[in-house]
């Protein structure tokens, strides 16, 4: 059940003139501080060790010190914490089985950018009924990442709102800046202070240069406006993030996962002074958001890896318990089926993890 969130009038300060301020703001509601949410759902020592170790593993793959493949796999967006944890328990077995060849990181995306309007994710509207109980959504999201860590799997998130990392980032191994935001100064600044490797997706139009420039900007120090762990407005100064990389996800002009496109992207990344490696997203523009085609794309990427291509450091798959998608609703949903983009089903996912692990072994044998 949704909790009631107290609201205030748009402004009550005598320093703000009522005829000019907040004219389109219906209400302002306080949030619990990041510290309160983190303290309420803390990381265990074992979970913190898993986060630190898996970040180091992803970093080593990115910079060429580890010849495994990073596989970011899981639901397009988490809408049901119970089903997400069920998925985590299923994924744990293949992740351990293929640990010599794959670094498996589970997608636990809670924020969904919308092209126009639509459900914005578990944090924004956890009940999927328009109640927008964000405090509940933040706590639920934190519980999901800690539960997945408890199941033995590292986690991956897309970071959309610049405030949300304060609630979650300590529990996240890999982060993404989505295709709508590689040129956003706010997201580049945010990525510059993140403690984990960050993948910048090429723009929705397919422009790889936007992601390259995002990585370069995020590698530099920045000073910007943010919030501290107590939720207070603050000046944030960062050192820059050297572990940013490009994610190829296709665009309006078509896919960019084929050997020629991958080689061109790797060349562009390397020429910019970044590690000459990219991750390939098998969904979105590379599959036309078709989950059946997504499986074919994964196999095509695996063929490149098996042939000896070293520029592919990772693969992303959208996968859930049941194949396909359904429209979001507060009740009556099929258990374990995506409410956003269509996802691979579990059996297909398990098969594809076998395929990717085999491709890594063949690449290794060539070397």
Two structure tokens written together for 191: 């990525």
Q: Please compute, for residue 140, the number of CA atoms within 13 A of its CA located in the half-sphere on the CB side.
A: 24
What pLDDT does residue 15 have?
A: 67
Q: What pLDDT is recorded for position 259?
A: 98
pLDDT for position 14:
58
**Residue 12: predicted pLDDT:** 52
Counting as low any pLDDT under 50, the low residues of the chain are 1-6
Going by C-alpha positions, the residue among 198, 108, 203, 93 that lies closest to residue 149 is 108
Residue 28's pLDDT is 92
Per-residue pLDDT, 1: 39
Give the per-residue pLDDT at 112.
87
pLDDT of residue 213: 98
Fold of the 34-366 domain: TIM Barrel (3.20.20)
Report the pLDDT value the prediction gives residue 13, as an integer from 0 to 100: 54
* Structure tokens given for 77: 């967006």
Rounded to an integer, what is the distance from CA 314 to the centroid of its chain? Answer: 13
- Distance, in Å, from the CA atom of 272 to the CA atom of 246, rounded to the nearest integer, reads 12
What is the reported pTM?
A: 0.94
Beta bridge partners of 355: none
């Amino acid at each position: 059940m949704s909790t009631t969130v107290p609201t205030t009038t748009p402004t009550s300060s005598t320093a703000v003139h009522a005829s000019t301020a907040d004219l389109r703001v219906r209400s302002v509601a306080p949030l619990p501080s990041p510290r309160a949410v983190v303290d309420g759902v803390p990381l265990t020592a074992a979970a913190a060790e898993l986060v630190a170790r898996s970040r180091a593993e992803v970093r080593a793959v990115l910079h060429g010190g580890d010849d495994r493949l990073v596989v970011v796999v899981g639901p397009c967006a988490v809408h049901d914490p119970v089903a997400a944890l069920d998925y985590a328990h299923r994924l744990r077995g293949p992740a351990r089985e293929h640990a010599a060849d794959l670094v498996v990181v589970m997608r636990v995306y809670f924020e969904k950018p919308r092209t126009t309007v639509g459900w914005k994710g578990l944090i924004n509207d956890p009940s999927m009924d328009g109640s927008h109980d964000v405090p509940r959504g933040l706590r639920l999201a934190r519980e999901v990442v800690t539960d997945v860590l408890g199941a033995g799997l590292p986690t991956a998130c897309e970071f959309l709102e610049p405030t949300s990392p304060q609630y979650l980032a300590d529990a996240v191994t890999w982060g993404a800046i989505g295709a709508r935001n590689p040129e956003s100064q706010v997201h580049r600044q945010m990525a510059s202070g993140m403690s984990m490797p960050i993948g910048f997706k090429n723009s929705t139009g397919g422009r790889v240069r936007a992601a390259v420039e995002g990585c370069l900007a995020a590698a530099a120090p920045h000073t910007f406006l943010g919030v501290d762990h107590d939720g207070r407005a603050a000046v944030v100064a960062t050192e820059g993030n050297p572990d940013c990389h490009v994610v190829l996800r296709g665009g309006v002009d078509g896919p960019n996962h084929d050997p020629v496109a991958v080689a061109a992207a790797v060349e562009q990344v390397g020429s910019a002074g970044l590690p000459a490696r990219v991750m390939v997203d098998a969904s979105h523009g590379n599959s036309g958001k078709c989950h059946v085609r997504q499986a074919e794309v994964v196999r095509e990427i695996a063929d490149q890896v098996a042939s000896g291509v070293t520029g592919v450091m990772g693969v992303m798959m959208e996968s859930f318990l049941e194949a396909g998608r359904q429209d979001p609703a507060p009740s009556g949903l099929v258990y374990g089926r995506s409410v956003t983009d269509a996802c691979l089903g579990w059996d297909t996912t398990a098969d594809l993890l076998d395929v990717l692990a085999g491709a890594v072994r063949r690449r290794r044998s060539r070397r």
